[in-house]
Amino acid sequence: MDLNQAIGLRNQLRNNKVIMAYNGAISDDLMLTLADLLKSRMLAQDDPKRSKTIFSVLWKAFKT
């Protein structure tokens, strides 16, 4: 992939509100790292109840 294609892909992902794209094995360590990042970002928002609900749903999804 050349630079122009990479920039185009980045712009397309941003326009579609994609915050992360990953290709590969998902280890337990990776899931915990992502969960911690999400938790930190969501707790920084103004609606802690909503953040907690979304984090709980994500956590349940990771466990299955």
Per-residue pLDDT, 64:
65
pLDDT at residue 35 in the model: 78
What is the pLDDT at residue 38?
77
pLDDT in tens, 4-55: 999 999 999 999 988 777 777 878 888 788 778 777 777 777 677 777 777 7
The pLDDT score that the predictor gives to residue 43 is: 74
Q: Tell me the helices (H) and strands (E) count for the chain, helix number first.
A: 3, 0
Question: Which distant-in-sequence residues (6+ apart) come within 8 Å of 31 by Cβ?
Answer: 62
Whether the pLDDT of residue 61 is over 80: the answer is: no
CA angle 58, 55, 48 (to 5 degrees): 160
pLDDT above 70 for 59: yes
